[in-house]
Amino acid sequence: MTDISEKEIGRLIEKVESTERMMHEMTTRMTSLEAQLHTQRGLGIGILVAITTITASGASLITRWLNG
């Protein structure tokens, strides 16, 4: 087997710790983005329902007006 120097072991440990920090940061970002997407999806559905309601109300008023 090849001998690994203490310096190389130290570098490997540093890279593992760096990777762990990056994974934690990315997980935090992803959680934030998922929450943001959920909020925007709810807002989009609300706008769609509002537009549908306004359109249906307008159509009902025009129908009543035309039927006199």
**Whole-angstrom distance, CA of residue 14 vs CA of residue 6:** 12
Element (H, E) at 16: helix 6-67
- CB under 8 Å, gap of 24 or more: what pairs does 24-28 form? none
Residue partners of 32: CB distance under 8 A and separation at least 6: none
Provide the pLDDT for residue 4: 83
Residue 10, pLDDT > 60, answer yes
Which tens digits make up the pLDDT trace of 26-68? 999 999 999 888 888 888 888 999 999 999 999 999 998 888 7
pTM of the model: 0.56
Residue 25, pLDDT > 60, answer yes
